[in-house]
Amino acid sequence: MTLLYVSTAERAAAWQPIFAEAGEEMIVGEAAVTDPAAVTHLLCWTPPRDLGRYPNLKVVISAGAGVDQMPPLPPGVALSRTVAPGIEEMVRDWVLMACLMLHRSMPAYLEQAARGEWKTHHTQLAQGCRVGIMGMGRIGSLAARSLASLGFPVAGWSRSGRPVEGVEVFGSDQLDAMLARTDLLVCLLPLTPETRGLMNADFLGKLPRGARLVHAGRGAQLDMDALKAALDQGQISAAMLDVTEPEPLPQDHWAWADPRVIITPHVAAVTDYAEGARHVLEVIRATRAGTEIPGLVDQAKGY
């Protein structure tokens, strides 16, 4: 089995000793491939255009948790998303930070601090701020447990409505009910045809007036014009976004200058080199053993 590694030289340099120690073959960059038939695994964010060049390719592995950037793969080629505790914990931490910042009125305090204004805003108990999390997968359920442990009443929404301990989970046809009981909405959904453009004007209007939004899923799930209108109408009071459409968000975009919106440049998680390499080694070993591929993506569902 041979891994073709398509990423930065810096990341490749970190992976090479890990692969050498594991006794696995790794080729860095397409230009170094002398025998395309030897390539069985490909690690990348977006794959090279011509995957047909690799007749024995078995698995494409996304360097992150998301796979929406992947084009359709040739028939028979499996897709794996990187599964790494570090990714999940980092996003959980970012979500906790964002929820606490919005719950404790930090956008208003940051704006006031910039002009030296000492003015207090009403602070509610965590118990009075109902959090709703869209996407109760690996990351959403982790974030839900942490937020619940801080005292927030947490509900979740997922396609299946699969139960998560300590959290009220709504199924796919119960979105409106979850939005109606949500003061602080967190989006941790994968980008699929069903979730693209989900957070539009109609959707935002179903939240209680003055709700807050935390978004770490994918930028294309949120209609930014609808967010601006909802902020101006007081329907949404503040938002914290780690993902935007497009990325990078243009310098002259209204959201940068709006004190009600805090933006971070898609940094909720970065894949730790060693954890990413460990995942790929597990994928290679599972392929060899004929067992289930870790992080296997259902390509029909898109996540």
Q: In whole angstroms, how close is the CB of 65 to ligand OXD at the nearest point?
A: 4
Interface with ligand NDP includes 139 (CB under 6 A)? yes
Which residues, 221 to 280, sit near ligand OXD by CB under 6 A? 269
Q: Choose the one of ligand NDP, ligand OXD, none that binds residue 223, judging by a C-beta under 5 to 8 angstroms depending on kind.
A: none
Which residues, 87 to 116, sit near ligand OXD by CB under 6 A? 87
Q: In whole angstroms, how close is the CB of 237 to ligand OXD at the nearest point?
A: 26
Write the interaction track for ligand NDP spanning residues 4-43; mark x where CB under 6 A is met and - where it is not.
----------------------------------------
**41 in catalytic set:** no
Residue of 138, 212, 266, 279 with catalytic role: 266
Q: Choose the one of ligand NDP, ligand OXD, none that binds residue 294, judging by a C-beta under 5 to 8 angstroms depending on kind.
A: none
Write the interaction track for ligand NDP spanning residues 158-177; mark x where CB under 6 A is met and - where it is not.
xxx-x---------x-----
Which residues, 24 to 83, sit near ligand OXD by CB under 6 A? 64-66
Pair 50, 74: CB distance under 8 Å: no
Structure token digits, residue 230: 């909802």
Residue of 81, 138, 218, 260 with catalytic role: 218
Pair 65, 28: CB distance under 8 Å: no
CB atoms under 10 Å from CB of 201, counted, come to: 14
Which residues are designated catalytic?
Answer: 218, 266
Footprint on this chain of ligand NDP (rule: CB under 6 A): 64-66, 87, 91, 135-140, 157-160, 162, 172, 188-192, 194-195, 216-218, 242-243, 266, 268-269, 303
Footprint on this chain of ligand OXD (rule: CB under 6 A): 64-66, 87, 269
